[in-house]
Amino acid sequence: MKILKFKIILLLLFIPVTIFAQSLDCPSRLKMRRPTPPFNFNDLSKSAQCLTGKKYEFVLPLTKGKDYRISFYASPVFNNEIKFRIVDVNSGDKVLDLPGETEGSNKGECALRAYYDNKLGKLVHPHFDFYPANSTQIKIIIEVASIEQAESNSNLNVPETRNKGCITVFVQDRKAEDIGF
C-alpha cells in the first residue's frame, strides 16, 4: 500500500512538469521582461520556440536618433549551449560573437550568464548597447547546439534528439542623447 501511495505522489508531481514542458508559451516569457530605465520596451523584441541543433536568423532595423539595448534569454533545456552573433547587414562587419555561457565568465564574455556588477552591487544580466550613427540593420544569428554536440563531438553514430525551448531577444530603446556642439 505504501508503494502505491508513493507511486501516486510521484505521478502527481511529474504530470505538471510534463504538461509545462510540452506547452511552451514563448510570448508570455517575453511579457515577463521589464525595461530598465531610461530604456523603454521596443516592439521588435521577439520570443520564439527553438530546437536544439538549429540555426536561427533575425533582422533588426536600428534607427538613427535612438540608443538600443539588447539582451538574450534562453530556456534551461538548452543548457546555455548557444552561440550568438550579430552582423551589421550594411557593412557585413561582425559586431558581436559570443557563446551563451563560458566557465568562469565575466562581464562581456558571454550572452546569457549573469555577472556581479561592483558599481551597482548586484547581479546583472548581460546586455549589449548599440548607438547607431545612421539608420542600419543588424542580423542576429542564433545557433543552438545539439545535445550530442554539447556532450561529445566524437561519436557521430548516435541518433540526434531535439529539445524544444524558448529563446528571447529582448530589445529596449531610448531617444539618443544630444552630444557635442
- Give every CB contact of residue 139 below 8 A, 6+ residues apart in sequence: 57, 58, 59, 60, 86, 87, 89
The pLDDT value given to residue 5:
57
The pLDDT value given to residue 159:
55
The pLDDT value given to residue 72:
95
SS3 (DSSP) at 110 = coil
pLDDT > 90? residue 71: yes
* β-bridge partners, 86: 96, 140
Domains by residue range for the chain, with CATH: 25-152+160-175 (2.60.120)
| Nearest residue to 135 via CA among 84, 176, 169, 181 | 176
User: How does pLDDT run across 132-145, given as a tens digit for each residue?
Assistant: 989 999 999 999 99
CB–CB of 168/33 below 8 Å? yes
Cell of 29: 516569457
Of 34-43, 95-104, 150-159, the range with the highest mean pLDDT is 34-43
Q: 115-122, long-range: CB within 8 Å, 24+ apart, which pairs?
A: none
SS3 (DSSP) at 152 = coil
Work out the pLDDT band at 181, boundaries 50, 70, 90: low
The pLDDT value given to residue 165:
94
Task: Select the more confidently predicted residue: 3 or 119.
Answer: 119
User: How does pLDDT run across 23-48, given as a tens digit for each residue?
Assistant: 568 888 888 899 999 999 999 999 99
* β-bridge partners, 82: 144
Amino acid at 102: T
Q: Report percent pLDDT > 90 for the chain.
A: 47
The pLDDT value given to residue 154:
45
Kindly state the helix (H) or strand (E) to which residue 62 belongs, with its residue range: strand 55-62
CB–CB of 80/100 below 8 Å? yes
